[in-house]
Chain A
Amino acid sequence: MTAATAALDAPRRVALLGNPNCGKTALFNLLTGSRQKVANYAGVTVERKEGRVASPSGRSYRVLDLPGAYSLNADSADEAVTRDVLLGRLSDEERPELLICVTDATNLRLNLRLVLEVRQLGIPMLLALNMSDLAERRGIRVDTHKLSELLGMPVVSTVGIARHGADRLLASLDEIDYAAVAEHAPEWKTPSLDQVTQTHRQVREILEQVVASGEGERRWDESIDRVVMHPLLGLVILAAVLLLMFQAVFSWAGLPMDAIDAATGWVGVQVGGMMSEGPLRSLLVDGIIAGVGGVIIFLPQIVILFAFILALEDSGYLPRAAFLLDRFMGKVGLSGRSFIPLLSSFACAIPGIMATRVISNTRDRLTTILIAPLMTCSARLPVYALLIAAFIPEQSVAGVFNLQGLVLFGLYLSGIVSAMAVAWVMQRFGGSLAHHPLMMELPTWRLPNLRNLLLGLLERVKIFLRRVGGIILAMMIVLWALSSYPAAPIDAIGPAIDHSYAGMIGHLIQPLFAPLGFSWEICVALVPGLAAREVAVGALATVYAVSGGADEAAALGTIVAQQWSLATALALLAWYVFAPQCLPTLAVIKRETQSWRYPLLAAGYLFGLAWLAAFFTYQIAVALGAG
């Protein structure tokens, strides 16, 4: 094969470019289906999504989904990545050979400006007129031939959710003249105000020639907004939506969680039965199966929470919720933009921190990143659930509320209130409280698309399972080894784990935690809990199972209820509201902020707050007679 034909056979690099909310990701999902690779751009946590697709003629393409951008004149980390990819400024990223400019046919006025701006770069382009079905229904008719002629690029009508539009798009990819790709990276500099106005004038002139419309009907939208964005009614609806979401997380997840619990128990018994007594059996049953099972059990809750978040985002509701909450966030020096990342943090701080990339103000973004770990993530639930079930009696309060539920609600609330307090302190002493930008698009209401929802969920599940298979599994094995070796001497008195490395570490750090009422067993569990908070429960199970060598059937809850005082349990709950125990989160903060300063700051302040909160909780509880 000659070099020339090899080059001809190599997949063409195609990139999707467009405004946020133009349906670009839906089109990407349609083109590439599940053949997507999600990673990060080198050095930043902006998600890099690439997929492969073959055209009907058999030619293959690598499609890159660039982050949504209003302009090359970047205002956020997302937009900076898009600009840098186009300009060839990212060293690990080859410049695309073709840009597919995705535009919302119902909103060409805004979308075309970016197209004209990017056209100056001289990269071959193709315009995808997305949501053309919606435009037709609204009486917006676009003369695609004329538009193609005026823009000097092919124009294809697509519908982000219908196959035939994607096929047409693929067919037209084959017709592009890729020889036109420039050798050198294009030049670009920030436009002047006059240049921007000039571009808008061009857009207006083009639209006058190609669009015949009844001025973009949005009546249906407006009536929804009148209710949803109403200053009072809107807040009531928001509260109801959030309540429903958390209710769903707790009640709907029960059944699959029980099933997973039963399944891991069954696997443990089967594997245990097949093997003879020994270190390998102990590692598999006590270390790996019990430990990993204890974490996978949260998958249903994570899936439900993300299903809600993705559906609310897809429908256009989340930006409106952010609109309603902007004033409140403003009181602590943040803006409504921080709401979406913080909401995601209830599932897991990692996607939450990654979602801060849309916050354009650097200070606001840093503060949001630093308080994201205070949102009660689903990994804390196992600890909360264990302790609440063991120590808080199931009784009703004032006839309607359940005491256990109230305690759980209180824990969530303490996280939120402390986050707001921390944000206030950080913004107060780290910068000014004035003039934080909001400038956020409130997109058209849309029915969430099932395919996009499922692909989004699949991605989250993969990330979670990768964590379970990676760091969590490794920590479980390390913990098992630490708590099994060195083995206790034959004539030893007391539990075997007391003689192991884990026992030594527990005893070593116990003086630091003694004022909080933590026993050395708790201290041992805190160490692996650093990998991920939920590991602490598995670790407690391991510590007690190994130390007692006892009846495996005895539930962990019963053991801790017998061995701990109420004050200790409450102190541990308070500890977990703040506990900085999640290395992956700290790693993401490091990568996101490109410095050790912020992960260290986060770990430091969270540790301090956790210690103080647990200390006061314990001491007050003891004083009240709960010791």
Chain B
Amino acid sequence: MWSAASEVDKTPLDVAHPAPPLPLSQLKLGQRARVRELRLPSPSHGHGEQLVLRLLEIGFVPGEAVRVMALGPGGREPLAVRVGGTMFALRRHEAEHVLVDLLDEGQ
């Protein structure tokens, strides 16, 4: 379930999602998606497993529906992401550890 960032070929564990997953950070405003897996940071990334652990703890678990509700001024970051019944503000470098499958095209 945990993929390392250094992995080039990721074999999806779930055959129901043949398309390659997208990092949450690339979702557009209003797009809905479902969390597929979390990507562990590479050692050079500056933050350890703690970040992924916290993302999991606040609800970014595989199978959970997510949606980008707002983007900060400039349209890049931070992202306001709805997950479960909660909304979290994430920077891109945090959101990119969540790999998602797109559900619809959004607005």
Contact (A438, B38) CB under 8 Å given A197-B1, A323-B78: no
Interchain CB contact under 8 A, A232 and B73: yes
Range of interface residues on chain A?
35 or more
List 8 other contacts, CB 8 Å, given A110-B85, A323-B78, A439-B88: A108-B85, A109-B86, A113-B57, A218-B82, A323-B80, A434-B46, A440-B89, A443-B86
Interchain CB contact under 8 A, A439 and B85: no
Chain A interface residues toward B at CB < 8 A: 70-71, 73, 75, 106-110, 113, 190-191, 193-194, 196-197, 200, 216, 218, 222, 225-226, 229-232, 234-235, 319, 322-324, 326-327, 330, 335-336, 432, 434-443
Chain B interface residues toward A at CB < 8 A: 1-2, 38, 45-47, 49-59, 61-62, 69-78, 80, 82, 84-91, 93-94
Interchain CB contact under 8 A, A437 and B94: yes
Q: How far is the CA of A108 from the CA of B86 in the complex (A)?
A: 10
Q: How far is the CA of A71 from the CA of B55 in the complex (A)?
A: 11
Among A75, A110, A234, A326, point to the contact of B89 (Cβ < 8 A): A326
Q: Can you offer 8 A-B residue contacts whose CB atoms are under 8 A?
A: A70-B58, A193-B56, A218-B85, A335-B91, A336-B78, A434-B93, A439-B94, A443-B87
Interchain CB contact under 8 A, A319 and B57: no
Contact (A326, B54) CB under 8 Å given A438-B78, A439-B94, A442-B88: no
Which residues from chain A contact B38 at a C-beta distance below 8 Å?
193
Which of chain A's residues has its CB closest to B38's CB? A193
Which residues from chain B contact A439 at a C-beta distance below 8 Å?
51, 54-55, 58, 88-91, 94
Among B54, B72, B73, B93, point to the contact of A435 (Cβ < 8 A): B93
User: A229, A326, A335, A439 — which one has the most chain B CB atoms within 10 A of its CB?
Assistant: A439
Which of chain A's residues has its CB closest to B55's CB? A439
Interchain CB contact under 8 A, A231 and B57: no
Which of chain A's residues has its CB closest to B50's CB? A75
Which residues from chain A contact B86 at a C-beta distance below 8 Å?
107, 109-110, 441, 443
Which of chain B's residues has its CB closest to A107's CB? B85
Interchain CB contact under 8 A, B47 and A435: yes
Interchain CB contact under 8 A, B94 and A229: no
How many A-B contacts if CB must be within 8 Å? 133
Which of chain B's residues has its CB closest to A435's CB? B46
Contact (A70, B1) CB under 8 Å given A193-B38, A235-B73: no
Q: How far is the CA of A254 from the CA of B55 in the complex (A)?
A: 48
Q: How far is the CA of A70 from the CA of B83 in the complex (A)?
A: 15
Interchain CB contact under 8 A, A442 and B85: no
Which of chain B's residues has its CB closest to A197's CB? B61
Which residues from chain B contact A216 at a C-beta distance below 8 Å?
85
Interchain CB contact under 8 A, B87 and A441: yes
User: A235, A435, A441 — which one has the most chain B CB atoms within 10 A of its CB?
Assistant: A435
Query: Nearest Cβ in chain A — how far from B1, in angstroms?
Result: 7
Which residues from chain A contact B72 at a C-beta distance below 8 Å?
231, 323-324, 326-327
Q: How far is the CA of A234 from the CA of B61 in the complex (A)?
A: 30
Interchain CB contact under 8 A, A231 and B73: yes
Among A70, A324, A335, A432, point to the contact of B54 (Cβ < 8 A): A70
Q: How far is the CA of A218 from the CA of B80 in the complex (A)?
A: 14
Query: Nearest Cβ in chain B — how far from A139, in angstroms?
Result: 13
Which of chain A's residues has its CB closest to B70's CB? A229
Which of chain B's residues has its CB closest to A117's CB? B57
Which residues from chain A contact B94 at a C-beta distance below 8 Å?
437-439
Q: How far is the CA of A193 from the CA of B58 in the complex (A)?
A: 12
Interchain CB contact under 8 A, A194 and B1: yes
Query: Nearest Cβ in chain A — how far from B45, in angstroms?
Result: 7
Which of chain B's residues has its CB closest to A138's CB? B85
Interchain CB contact under 8 A, B56 and A197: yes
Which of chain B's residues has its CB closest to A361's CB? B47
Q: How far is the CA of A324 from the CA of B75 in the complex (A)?
A: 11
Contact (A441, B88) CB under 8 Å given A113-B57, A234-B73, A324-B72: yes
Which residues from chain A contact B53 at a C-beta distance below 8 Å?
73, 190-191, 193, 196
Contact (A225, B80) CB under 8 Å given A110-B58, A435-B45: yes
Which of chain A's residues has its CB closest to B75's CB? A231
Interchain CB contact under 8 A, B57 and A196: yes
User: A71, A191, A327, A443 — which one has the most chain B CB atoms within 10 A of its CB?
Assistant: A327
Q: How far is the CA of A510 from the CA of B58 in the complex (A)?
A: 57
Which residues from chain B contact A432 at a C-beta distance below 8 Å?
46
Among A108, A218, A234, A440, point to the contact of B88 (Cβ < 8 A): A440
The 6 closest A-B pairs by CB, nearest first: A109-B84, A229-B70, A216-B85, A442-B87, A231-B73, A107-B85
Interchain CB contact under 8 A, B58 and A327: no
Interchain CB contact under 8 A, B51 and A437: yes
